[in-house]
Structure 1
Amino acid sequence: MPQGGRPRRRDPTLQADRGDEVAQGVPVAPRCAVTAGPVGAGGMGTAPAGAGPAYSARSYRPPVSRLWWLRRRSYFLCMLRELSSVFVAWFVVFLLMLVDAVSSGPVAYQEFLDWSARPWVIALDVIASAFVLLHAVTWFNLAPTAMVVRLRGRSVPPCGTHSALRVVGGVFGGCGVGDLAMTTQKRPARGRSTPRSLEPAAWLLFSTGGMAAALLIPVLLVLSGVAIPLGWLAAPDHSHLLSVLHHPVTLLVLFGLCVLALFHWAHRFRFVLYHGLRLDRAGGVIEVLCYGGAVVGSVVAAYVLISAW
């Protein structure tokens, strides 16, 4: 061992000489200019200013598994919450089938009741009911947090003795979430113009649809998909359902519920594919399929409801 490497001695290989700024004796690298350019076969590189080609630096991103949401319980529950949008869309399909059967006559209505009483349909509706209930619970927990409720100049906490105000805030918080997404956009600087985006409108439809789904779909799906097929409740008379269905307010409410629920599914399922399955490279195709499916479903809902009227 060299003399300078012994205990309490300075090793010239580890100490800076003559008070240089580099602590480990590494000579100061010359100033380099990093400019945009291709990265060579040897990886990232730099070149002194004015000498040779310059290369661009790449930030390292560790690979993420498509099943990353299985690593923690909180991730898994979050993914279940996002997947509840699939069963929200299933309710729209189930509802339109019911409307079409009622409008087609007593025989078609009875056939629908027999079909909905099949074991696999009941099992599907039970699973869907569990997921839409999960959606309702998580939505009512989220909406008051996203929208600050003020009472007499003070913000109301989202828990504790103000649980009733929390529910009230949740009812009106759906539109607040969408408005928040619209109002928190960064304003462009003066003299600069930014291209308009449909993202705020998508968030508004998502939040309003989430609130409508949390309020109406759990009750309707449990009654029509579980309780009546299992015989817990008697099926409504066909003539009574037909008279209710012919009312313009009923058609308007059902159409609004279908449209909002479909766009809620489209927006949420889009991000499930983006972040859950790491398919962000196919972002354009996913957007077309999700929002296009919501538009097509809305047109089909309008056709079925108008035909029933």
Structure 2
Amino acid sequence: MSRRPYKPVMSKTWYLKQPSYRNYMIREMSSVFIGLWTLNLLIGLGKLIQGPATWSQWLALQAHPLMILFSAVTLALALYHSLTWFRAVPQVMRIQIGTSFVPAKLITNAHIGAMVGFSAIVLLATLWGV
């Protein structure tokens, strides 16, 4: 055993050197935004339980331009996170039918299609007031 173990020098911007590292870090950072947005939603549910006055105050806060921007950025990051995750699915979920494997593009497109379909159902239900 060596007395001086090898410690590679890594810069603070190591992830900017390769696009795959950068995309990975963006995807991981999106989790922080999604977590904060979820926390905001849970706080809103707590305000709803407390009564109409506090619920109205929380709704007024949500109408602030910074909160709208935060929600839009979080939505964009959630979509990016989902699409990059769906691109990774064929690497971990190999489906074999007979002697051949289902093409990766078909698996990815099926997941994206399911996401678009369910999103459309939720949007239509929201617009129709269901």
Q: Report TM bin, short chain.
A: 0.7 to 0.9
Change (3 A) 1:86 1:58: same
CA deviations 1:34-69 (Å, max 9, x no partner) are xx5xxxxxxxxxxxxxxxxxxx47564431112111
Q: Deviation at 1:84? A: 1.0
Which consecutive unaligned segments of at least 5 residues does structure 1 have? 1-35, 37-55, 172-214, 224-232, 241-309
Equivalent position amino acid for 2:108 in 1: R
Change (3 A) 1:151 1:123: same
> In the alignment, which residue of structure 2 is the partner of 1:94?
40
1:106 aligns with 2:48: no
CA deviations 1:215-262 (Å, max 9, x no partner) are 6xxx6xxx8xxxxxxxxx99x8xxx9xxxxxxxxxxxxxxxxxxxxxx
1:166 aligns with 2:108: yes
Q: Deviation at 1:118? A: 0.5
1:118 aligns with 2:73: no
> In the alignment, which residue of structure 1 is the partner of 2:17?
71
Alignment of 1:201-240 (within 5 A): none
Q: Aligned with 2:76: secondary structure? A: helix
Which consecutive unaligned segments of at least 5 residues does structure 2 have? none
Q: 1:80 aligns with which of 4, 18, 26?
A: 26
Change (3 A) 1:98 1:57: closer
* TM-score, scaled relative to structure 2: 0.73
Change (3 A) 1:153 1:122: same
Give the distance between the partners of 2:10 and 2:85, measured in 1 at CA.
28
Structure with a larger share of its residues in helix: 2
Give the distance between the partners of 1:57 and 1:93, measured in 2 at CA.
47
Alignment of 1:13-162 (within 5 A): 36=1, 56=2, 58=4, 60-159=6-105, 162=106
Change (3 A) 1:57 1:103: closer
Q: Deviation at 1:140? A: 1.0
Give the distance between the partners of 1:133 and 1:153, measured in 2 at CA.
34
Q: Deviation at 1:71? A: 2.1
Give the distance between the partners of 1:126 and 1:103, measured in 2 at CA.
26
Q: Deviation at 1:72? A: 2.9
Question: Which one has the largest radius of gyration?
Answer: 1
Give the distance between the partners of 2:48 and 2:109, measured in 1 at CA.
35
Percent of pairs with identical residues: 29
Q: How many residues align?
A: 119
Equivalent position amino acid for 1:86 in 2: V
Alignment of 1:159-308 (within 5 A): 159=105, 162=106, 165-168=107-110, 170=111
Change (3 A) 1:108 1:152: farther
Computed over aligned residues only, the root mean square deviation of the Cα atoms, in angstroms, reads: 2.9
* TM-score, scaled relative to structure 1: 0.34
Q: Deviation at 1:107? A: 2.5
Equivalent position amino acid for 1:89 in 2: G
Give the distance between the partners of 1:132 and 1:151, measured in 2 at CA.
32
Give the distance between the partners of 2:78 and 2:16, measured in 1 at CA.
21
